Structure 1
Amino acid sequence: MYRFLFSSKWLGYLLLAAVFAAACLFLGRWQMDRRAETLAEINRVVTNYSATPVAFDEIRDQFSTLDVDREWTQVAVQGTYDVDGQRIIRNRPLNGQPGYEVVVPFTLSTGETIIIDRGWLPIGNNNPGRPDTIPAPPGGEVSAVVRLKHGEPTLDRGAPDGQLASIDLPTYQQELGYPVMTGAYGQLAAESPRPADTPVGFPMPATEEGTHLSYSLQWFAFGVLMFVAFGYAARQQARNAAIDAADAAEDAALEESGGTVLARAPQYAAVGAQRRPSPARKRRGPTAEEEEDAILDAQGY
């Protein structure tokens, strides 16, 4: 009954279903991987973002090579800002508004220098390509709390003087001309003394999981439904073949008994619809009335 499944056409359909299902499986697993990354990031934010700041001496190595699990850790530092080394980072949107970020070298009391991102500034109206004003960091000895962040990759695009395309710490170090810890930088959380005018502080990262789980389940469902559709089509084909076989057997029986088999009406109206056999006009022989009419015709009546 299902021998047609071994035909080249139906094997091709099966291969197409398998390829489609494999693509859905890949996309579903990709969404699950993205969900796992999102959950890991949420866990880091929840664990580290508002935790008690640790002293720089306890976490010095993280500024050389930042462990991903220590991202967003709060660190208490003391030192002075190098205003001459200040730069602004281009193309930094915040809440849908384009702008910049301000980064400044911070020389610690231990003699080491880290980079601190002090916050965000909107695009200026007076000078295209620059903020109208850049709030100066506090002078003298400063106590600050920063959150650890990984440095950013190099971007293959230039930037005007006093600006950087990304927080690429090795490139920044080359511009400064003196050693800087390039394994991580600090995103400013608080500083004392606090100046009257400061850049806009950074909002807490989102901790919503998003739609990755629902998307992955949808892709898995699509893959399963492809095989369901294949099975339904095969079942309909088998039922139609069974109807054809029954009709052929009935026609053969009529022919053997001397009956007349007339043309059949179309079996179904649309592709994929269930075949509904139309009744064929069949007669096994002339009726008594037809035989009587034939005799009268032969006698000339």
Structure 2
Amino acid sequence: MATMSPRLRRAIVLLAAVAMTALTARLGFWQLGRAQQKEALQSQRETRRGEPPLAAAELARTAQAAAAQHDRRIVLAGRWLPQHAVFLDNRPLEGRAGVLLVMPLELAPGDTVLVQRGWAPRDPVDRSRLPSVPSAPGRVLVEGVVAPPPGRTLALGAEGRGMLRQNLDPETFARETGLPLRPLSIRQDEGPPDDGLVRRWPAPATEVPKHRGYAFQWFALSSLTVALYVWFQLLGPWWRRRRAA
């Protein structure tokens, strides 16, 4: 078996070092780009929250229009539909186990929107016992923020169809109940003080520091690759030749 010539070996090592350096540097810049995207998204959220409340008549009816209204404040008038209330399980808040109450609000006949009404702690003794559903009769005013539908969590087993569920898919829920739902939800900020619901909504995680940390790691690996190549392929041989001379 023919041995590899020193020149060919040096060329292969050089190509490997260049490829590794380029790949890790590219990943580092990609992580920096992700951080910039998250920062821009956070700035957009803050800008929208500072805008005047959205008029109820302007509330989006399509998913594309809804995405442009997320984080806008709004006041809606409607009627609660407590018979279709759903508690989403495994929604911890500040280290406590609890559920998220989601209830449809009928704005007009044939026009309904999901409202994330608030958080309630789980019964520590009987987990099957759910909080009472606070729902004032008649027409009510709901103040909140336009938001995507409730986020999904990891579901163990099949999704339920009762009042207590792991997740809530708006399209499936609309077919199940026959309610014409808008492609968004309202995260309620104000409510009756005696309804027992907590509305300290956590701020969305931007993960900007995480992306910057990943970028630092990739750039560090890229720099290490260059340093190792320079030492073992250039400085090391030069130093050995100098000592031999």
Q: TM-score, normalised by structure 1?
A: 0.68
Aligned to 2:143: 145
Query: 1:120, CA displacement in angstroms?
Result: 1.2
Query: 1:86, CA displacement in angstroms?
Result: 0.3
Query: 1:42, CA displacement in angstroms?
Result: 1.1
Residues 1-301 of structure 1 mapped to structure 2, 5 A cutoff: 7-61=7-61, 64-109=63-108, 111-128=110-127, 130=128, 132-151=130-149, 152=151, 157-159=158-160, 161-181=162-182, 183-191=183-191, 194=192, 196-205=194-203, 209-233=208-232, 234-244=234-244, 246=245
Q: Give unmatched runs, 5+ long, in structure 2.
A: none
Q: Which amino acid aligns with 2:176?
A: E
Report if aligned partners of 1:104, 1:117 keep a CA contact under 8 Å in 2. yes
Query: 1:162, CA displacement in angstroms?
Result: 1.3
Alpha carbons of structure 1 residues 68 and 101: separation in structure 2 relative to 1, 3 Å:
same
Report if aligned partners of 1:54, 1:74 keep a CA contact under 8 Å in 2. yes
Q: How many Å separate the matches in 2 of 1:237 and 1:122?
A: 68
* Greater relative contact order, per chain length (Cα 8 Å cut-off, separation 6+): 2
Aligned to 1:257: none
Q: How many Å separate the matches in 2 of 1:180 and 1:207?
A: 27
Query: 1:111, CA displacement in angstroms?
Result: 4.6
CA RMSD across the alignment: 2.9
Report if aligned partners of 1:100, 1:131 keep a CA contact under 8 Å in 2. no
Q: How many Å separate the matches in 2 of 1:27 and 1:143?
A: 49
Report if aligned partners of 2:77, 2:142 keep a CA contact under 8 Å in 1. yes
Query: 1:6, CA displacement in angstroms?
Result: 5.7
Query: 1:118, CA displacement in angstroms?
Result: 0.3
Give the length in aligned residue pairs: 237
- Per-residue CA deviations over 1:43-79 (Å, capped at 9, x if unaligned) read 13211235432221023335x5344342111121101
Alpha carbons of structure 1 residues 47 and 141: separation in structure 2 relative to 1, 3 Å:
same
Alpha carbons of structure 1 residues 137 and 177: separation in structure 2 relative to 1, 3 Å:
same
Q: Give unmatched runs, 5+ long, in structure 1.
A: 247-301
